[in-house]
Homo-oligomer: A and B are copies of this chain.
């Protein structure tokens, strides 16, 4: 336990508690001030970013970093800078997720109960590589009223330090404490913080599977995120061939390294000579490598590209998140078996059925125990922006609190406020057999009236 980490965590909790008494308008003001501070420091930040990039180039040459990782570091490319700032303004413009009354009841004359949304507390967010995530996450935390401690990848340290400085500058223009958003640099600090569940309320890892898994394995603090994105498309007996081709190809190829890209294709065995060869042909044309159930090879053997793109499945085919133009394919004798296969092999992220049968659609969407169950639509729709949340905190494959694409709503919880307006206050001793009983009369209220 580094003493510094304890100080950081304490400061975050204190900043959170102080912030609870500051009007929510200040949080929106902070976001706009941060935009101003970022813009004012643009040159300095992009110059630090160039230094990070140069160092990364050295790492790439030495074979210690991938080209694609290096590219993600670059803040000056295209409209990345402007869209980072626009992102902050967009978050500022979203509806306030806090102070929303979600249940209100008159328990007795002059005794009113309100359940009202409020921030969770202190977030620890750990991510890799792309430096603009610092700004992105800081905006989400500020908008939802949570204090946050952020740790980015070491490749972008120079950039992140200056981005954080701009965030602090922005916060200093408001009554929010500057310790509301803090950044840390080392893994040792992360390890220490993961032990401080008295100060930190939620950990949000955004990055590779191994990052997420390591974190899940090393803390008692709740973790929101997903380790795997093992999504599947099932072609039902009644599948339409055009829908099958379009949905499978889009699910696999639109963005293969995304967590909502499909890794498994499950084909009803009645389709092996009809739709399966057409779908296989389209996938091969899209340069997708297929790892197939042996029973499925015969009917596609004559396709152009078979030798290059088709091979028998191996024992890891249905355990692997390929994250590339590779798809594992299996056949199934029934919808029930497909559901069972998905429930035991998918990561409960998003699974798709292609079918013309209403009952099959209904059985699949209810029987598949995943965050998203889709009918005749690409798995790639599983995304906060596409769902209409305006922004995305991440995607959760957990089963409590928030599931699937998580918007700002995933960063709030609620508290109960109870007020007696009676002359003598209220005691529970007034209720019971032979005494008063509870009214439980719904109150219509959008905000707490006190």
Interface residues of A (CB under 8 A from B): 16-17, 20-21, 105, 107, 111, 113, 120-121, 201-202, 216-217, 220, 222, 224, 240, 242-243, 246-247, 249-250, 254, 339-340, 343, 354, 358, 361-363, 365-367, 369-378, 380-382, 385-388, 398-401, 403-405, 413-422, 424-429, 431, 438, 440, 448, 450
Contacts and interface: CB of A to CB of B under 8 A. Distances in A.
Which of A120, A354, A373 neighbours the largest number of chain B CB atoms within 10 Å of its CB?
A373
Contacts of A398: 222
* Copy count, this protein chain: 2
Contacts of A385: 438
A362 B99 CA distance: 12
Contacts of A343: 17
B438 A107 contact: no
A378 B430 CA distance: 11
Nearest to A107: B386
A254 B120 contact: no
A429 B373 contact: no
Contacts of A340: 17
Contact of A425 (B111, B201, B224, B354): B354
Contact of A429 (B121, B250, B428): B250
Which of A358, A374, A425 neighbours the largest number of chain B CB atoms within 10 Å of its CB?
A425
Contacts of A247: 425-427
A358 B416 CA distance: 17
Contacts of A450: 358, 361-362, 365, 375
Given A372-B415, A382-B416, 14 more contacts: A17-B367, A20-B366, A21-B363, A21-B367, A107-B381, A224-B400, A242-B425, A254-B427, A354-B425, A371-B416, A372-B417, A373-B416, A378-B426, A386-B431
Contacts of A120: 399-400
Nearest to A251: B427
B367 A418 contact: no
Contacts of A376: 419-422, 425-426
A333 B242 CA distance: 74
B17 A374 contact: no
A263 to B, nearest CB: 17
B202 A400 contact: yes
Contacts of A242: 424-425
Give me the 6 closest cross-chain CB pairs, A-B, nearest first.
Answer: A250-B427, A243-B425, A388-B440, A376-B425, A401-B401, A400-B401
A375 B428 contact: no
A414 B403 CA distance: 7
A74 to B, nearest CB: 21
B381 A428 contact: yes
Contacts of A201: 399-400
A249 B428 CA distance: 11
